[in-house]
Amino acid sequence: MNGIKIPLVQINVANTIKLKPKILFLYPGQSRQNRINGLESGSVPQDFFYGLPGAMQAGYDCVIGDTRSNPKGLIANYQLKWEIFRNRFTRFGFSKQRVKALRKQFENVDIAISFTDFFSLSMALWAPSGPNRPLLVGGFHGLTDQINKAHPLWQKKYECMVKRSLQKLDHIFFFGEADMLEAINRYDLDRSKTSLFSFGVDTKFWTSSEFSSLHEEYVLAVGSDPQRDYETLINAATNVPIKILTKLKIKVPTERHNIELISGSFYNSEITDEQLRKMYQSALAIIIPLKEVNQPSGYSVALQAMACGKPIILTKTSGLWDSHLFKSGKNCLLVDPYKPEQIAEAIEVLQKNKILRARLGIEAQNTARKDFGINRMNNAINRMIEKILPY
């Protein structure tokens, strides 16, 4: 599959000859290719692209690659099927064939940046080698959580493969500090080739509506990350209407009439970004129930909801990103992991206290705009690129 060139900005060629490398941004699936034109019209949020617009504005030549591309050839596709089967059994996701499918793209760029844990590891092991190979940059959302979940029979082998992969990457970035620090100690990483990637949201897209307060009838939960703890949410004793938008296979007991399960996911469902924004705006609160993990799970939903001026109920986990900026009772409500009674109490308080709801929403929006704007992420990607350049 050929990389897709993104004509977002006009570049002054005279100022960029041989100074700006060609960068391959690697994402899972084709949803970003399908939405790229929406950036110019403003119908798609910039945060969906993890800093790519900022890299282009800085003058870098950028293309997109799909890490779910299939390799060419009957044998290679049979090998891919075997990898998929093996990964389900071992609960870990190495794939030589997915990397092989992108070989031509790797050969035509200077830097390759992966934004998913398993492809970052696979890329390090099987991307083209040699003096002209691209610099390999691997991103991780929850590396140490993933290896802990691997099948016991394969865990030791995968520990060795992970360490070998990390050593081969030219730069490693993490979305959460807890995951980064544990990985550095666990795999004896050179700190100079690691960095913390600062996530930000498009506060021009994710914004409040003057009509949102006319609705506010339900609590909304969004996300298909396996670290979402919908079981605890479902067990919360409340009759307030709850809508859950996810692709995860979860079961809602028939007696829980107040819970509506909407099949879909954040970016791959038929629900558009604009429709999702309206769902945020119409909710009385957004809840992000999480398992106790190092991964900074739920950051996109939390920050987007905050930018829309909505109060959030968030599980306080070890992986909570920028924890010093989240003040329970001021700009959010924090609950402990696996505590349905705390979730129920938080929902009931917000449902009954409109003044508190409004105050938390205002403070949440102020925090999103002041500390989590899109420039935060655009600057982070550009700093990382500058750090790894050999000149």
Per-residue pLDDT of the chain (391 residues; tens, 9 = 90+): 445 445 444 334 334 445 689 999 999 998 888 888 888 888 899 999 999 999 999 999 999 999 999 999 999 999 999 999 999 999 999 999 999 999 999 999 999 999 999 999 999 999 998 888 999 999 999 999 999 899 999 999 999 999 999 999 999 999 999 999 999 999 999 999 999 999 999 999 999 987 666 567 899 999 999 999 999 999 999 999 999 999 999 999 999 999 999 875 444 446 889 999 999 999 999 999 999 999 999 999 999 999 999 999 999 999 999 999 999 999 999 999 999 999 999 999 999 999 999 999 999 999 999 999 999 999 999 999 999 987 6
Q: Are 309 and 208 in contact (CB under 8 A)?
A: yes
Instruction: Give CATH superfamily name and number for 212-371.
Output: Glycogen Phosphorylase B; (3.40.50.2000)
Question: Which CATH number among 1.10.760.10, 3.30.360.10, 3.40.50.2000, 3.40.50.1100 corresponds to the domain 4-200+374-388?
Answer: 3.40.50.2000
Could you give phi then psi for residue 312, rounded to 5 degrees?
Answer: -120, 145
Reduce the DSSP state of residue 321 to 3 states and report it. Answer: coil
Residue linked to tokens 């993104």: 6
Q: What is the pLDDT of residue 12?
A: 40
> Long-range contacts for 240-245 (Cβ within 8 Å, ≥24 apart)?
240/284, 240/347, 240/348, 240/351, 241/217, 242/218, 242/287, 242/347, 243/218, 243/219, 243/279, 243/283, 245/220, 245/221, 245/269, 245/271, 245/276, 245/279
The reply to whether 4-200+374-388 and 212-371 are identical in fold is yes
Q: How far apart are CA 116 and CA 176, in angstroms?
A: 13
pTM above 0.85, yes or no: yes
Residues 6+ apart with CB under 8 A from 16: 59, 61
Domain coordinates in residue numbering, the chain = 4-200+374-388, 212-371
Percentages helix, strand, coil for the chain (3-state, rounded to 5) are 45, 15, 40
pLDDT tens-digit readout, 265-275: 444 446 889 99
- Rounded Cα distance between 354 and 282, Å, is 14
